[in-house]
């Protein structure tokens, strides 16, 4: 305990006071029924609807995010989550009866969801509104007090979020703090009951280490190199259009974006041609048109630009062929939507998650090669399969691991609130969205009630020969 106390002493006074206010209200907030919790979320919804244009302005100022993408990927998922919670929260909060085995005759058991307490939500920059507000909704629905921190890489959106949270919630129920990595590090020293983090594996490990010191639970959403497999039976035109949309959405800065494509060698050229055609339909036929397109956003900062540009240049130098795109402009942080062919598994672009608008395409002769490659690497956040052959689909789902998957589309599993969203292994731990989010921010408490009759007394000491025989008999009957 002394180690934890020493770390807490390093936290700036303002952060510590914000945390203490939340913790002091923790039990008052926990006792609220579904009506009171939903009233808080209804106020949040009203403010979002009222300020959606200001949100779009903030996101455009941060990295030129198109207004249509703001609506589709930031506002709409949050509104869907709010509506789903509104419909189902009362049922989720009800104690859930569970069966009673014969040996426990005379008892009744149930499971109740209790709030974890005071929780921390650390949000990323790529979907700075959605990926802060969605877990916040789940945490409030579950009855917690919440401290949020948005990313400093999107300062305009962070300021918007600060005002939104301030106006939607009392500061002893939900608080938001701004700042850089030093603020995030200070927050990790505080004894939160649950840590929710979306970002990269390096910081994810640090969050998990911090949670371990407090014996707190965690939810980690960490991303990874999400592959696409296009087999010989796939509808290439449909696959290309959907892959292009999912890849270049948000400038490729999406944790579940298709990272790279494995295509059967018999369909490679057809897929490359279809990808090029889809890219031109979406963003313009020429490099100049794509640069001027209002529908394509920019890399978030100079560091992100330099990293992705370096991966692209090194991969082309290693022998990859540019099918479309390839251009870049450092001043505006523009990297053209790019498709690469003749990419090998050991190419520089395959070394890490791309998180930018570059799509490598790798050919394969046998599905065995793809399965072996997927098993050898880290488990991705998503795996996408395009195929008309159910045996191929089933094999890839059965013989590989991923946080989630789509068949004959991409990304859309993230939008269904009935599906849990989360990673596995290097791509994350735990899940949220819908009921999964409510459960992530709740502890499932087991409760057993003893009635008037009980068989338990038959096993009380002293352990006579009769008691031993009864225990042995129970083992045979119920074991």
Residues serving a catalytic function are 221, 255
Distances (CA, A) of 230 to 242, 246, 404: 12, 15, 17
| Nearest C-alpha neighbor of 11 from the set 134, 160, 189, 151 | 189
Task: Write down how long the chain is.
Answer: 479
Beta strand pairing call for 442-450 and 328-329 = unpaired
Q: What are phi and psi of 230, to 5 degrees?
A: -115, 110
């Amino acid at each position: 305990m002394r180690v934890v106390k020493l770390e807490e002493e390093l936290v700036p006074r303002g952060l510590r006071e914000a945390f203490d206010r939340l913790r002091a209200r923790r039990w008052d907030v926990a006792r609220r029924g579904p009506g009171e919790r939903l009233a808080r979320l209804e106020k949040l919804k009203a403010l979002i609807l009222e300020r959606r244009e200001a949100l779009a302005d903030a996101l455009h100022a941060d990295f030129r995010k198109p207004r249509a993408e703001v609506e589709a990927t930031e506002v709409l998922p949050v509104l869907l989550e709010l509506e789903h919670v509104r419909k189902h929260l009362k049922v989720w909060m009800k104690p859930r009866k569970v069966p009673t085995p014969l040996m426990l005759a005379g008892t009744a058991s149930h499971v109740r969801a209790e709030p974890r307490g005071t929780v921390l939500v650390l949000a990323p920059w790529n979907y700075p509104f959605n990926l802060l507000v969605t877990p916040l909704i789940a945490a409030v629905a579950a009855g917690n007090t919440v401290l949020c921190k948005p990313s400093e890489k999107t300062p305009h959106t962070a300021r918007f979020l600060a005002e939104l949270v301030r106006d939607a919630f009392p500061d002893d129920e939900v608080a938001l703090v701004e700042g850089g990595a030093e603020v995030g590090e200070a927050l990790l020293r505080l004894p939160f009951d649950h840590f929710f983090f979306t970002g990269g594996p390096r910081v994810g490990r640090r969050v998990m280490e911090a949670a371990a010191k407090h014996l707190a639970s965690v939810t980690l959403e960490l991303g990874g190199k999400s592959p696409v497999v296009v087999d010989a039976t796939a509808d290439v035109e449909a696959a290309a259009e959907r892959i292009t949309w999912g890849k270049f959405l948000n400038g490729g800065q999406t944790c579940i974006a298709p990272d790279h494509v494995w295509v059967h060698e018999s369909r490679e050229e057809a897929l490359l041609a279809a990808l090029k055609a889809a890219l031109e339909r979406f963003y313009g036929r020429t490099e100049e048109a794509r640069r001027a397109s209002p529908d394509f956003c920019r890399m978030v900062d100079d560091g992100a630009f330099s990293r992705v540009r370096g991966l692209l240049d090194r991969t082309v130098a290693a022998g990859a062929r540019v099918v479309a795109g390839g251009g870049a402009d450092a001043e505006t942080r523009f990297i053209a939507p790019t498709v690469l062919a003749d990419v090998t598994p050991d190419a520089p672009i395959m070394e890490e998650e791309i998180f930018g608008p570059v799509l490598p395409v790798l050919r394969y002769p046998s599905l065995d090669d793809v399965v072996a490659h997927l098993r050898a690497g880290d488990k991705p956040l998503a795996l996408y399969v395009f195929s008309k052959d159910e045996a191929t689909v089933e094999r890839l789902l059965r013989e590989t691991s991923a946080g989630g998957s789509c068949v004959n589309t991409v990304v859309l599993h993230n939008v269904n609130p009935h599906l849990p969203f989360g990673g596995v292994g290097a791509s994350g731990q735990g899940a949220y969205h819908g009921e999964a989010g409510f459960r992530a921010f709740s502890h499932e408490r087991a409760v057993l009630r003893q009635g008037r009759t009980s068989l338990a007394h038959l096993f009380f000491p002293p352990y006579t020969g009769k008691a031993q025989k009864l225990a042995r008999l129970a083992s045979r009957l119920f074991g």
